[in-house]
């Protein structure tokens, strides 16, 4: 499924809300269809610069965000290079200043601990000014509360909040969560989603099963 005509601004006369996918130039940032970002402070088209931080090519780590995610103003994705190594006796990033200290340029990455990709599932809602740290995986349907700092993986359909983010509740019972994971409606065609949208919006999970 792809968005027709590479639409970026989905709402008439709304320059603060965009579909992210076709605004991204970095090949290590992968965004799914219909994932939206709203920014009432800065230009949302600058998401790649303003919201994806310390994402240096030398690490080859990726930001992966699924389909139909909702990202609120000021949410940040904080990558490995923000994390000074804890293996050293000093937190100062000496390898970063290899010229000053006559160190081997090839060892620049030893200035930080590489924690890997940030991976966000589908239909995830990330609240205002939330921060997602490197290496974190967030499951489908999760909700990240306002200004939460996510340091660990979040299971599907789990609501979290706080610093560090902790589970507040599950969105649905286990049976419903399992059914949603089985259906994966976000991978349906536009036409099929449109057909079943009333049931999705009204929470009628059993009506999403069909032959």
pLDDT of 211 reads 43
For every residue of 162-193, DSSP letters joined together read TTTTEEEEESS-HHHHHHHHHH-GGGS-HHHH
Per-residue pLDDT, averaged over 202-208, amounts to 92
With a cut of 60, say whether residue 65 has pLDDT above it: yes
Q: What is the pLDDT of residues 146-172, one digit of tens each?
A: 999 999 999 999 999 999 999 999 999
Q: What is the pLDDT of residues 8-47, one digit of tens each?
A: 999 999 999 999 999 999 999 999 999 999 999 999 999 9
> Does 55 participate in catalysis according to the annotation?
no
With a cut of 70, say whether residue 7 has pLDDT above it: yes
Domain ranges of the chain: 4-86+113-171, 173-211
The topology (CATH level 3) of 4-86+113-171 is UDP N-Acetylglucosamine Acyltransferase; domain 1 (2.160.10)
């Amino acid at each position: 499924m792809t968005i027709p005509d590479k639409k970026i601004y989905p709402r008439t006369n709304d320059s603060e809300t965009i579909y992210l996918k076709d605004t991204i130039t970095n090949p290590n940032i992968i965004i799914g269809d219909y994932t939206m970002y709203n920014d009432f402070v800065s230009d949302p088209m600058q998401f790649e610069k303003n919201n994806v931080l310390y994402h240096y090519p030398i690490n080859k780590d990726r930001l992966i965000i699924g389909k139909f995610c909702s990202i609120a103003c000021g949410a940040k994705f904080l990558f490995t290079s923000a994390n000074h190594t804890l293996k050293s006796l000093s937190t100062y990033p000496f390898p970063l200043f290899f010229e000053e200290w006559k160190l081997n340029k090839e060892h620049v990455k030893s200035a930080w601990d590489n924690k890997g990709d940030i991976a966000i599932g589908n239909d995830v809602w990330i609240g205002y000014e939330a921060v997602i740290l490197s290496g974190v995986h967030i499951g489908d349907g999760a909700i990240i509360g306002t200004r939460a700092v996510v340091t660990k993986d979040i299971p599907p359909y789990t609501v979290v909040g706080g610093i560090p983010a902790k589970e507040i509740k599950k969105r649905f019972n286990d049976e419903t969560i399992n059914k949603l994971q089985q259906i994966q409606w976000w991978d349906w065609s536009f036409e099929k989603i449109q057909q079943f949208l009333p049931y999705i919006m009204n929470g009628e999970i059993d009506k999403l099963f069909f032959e």
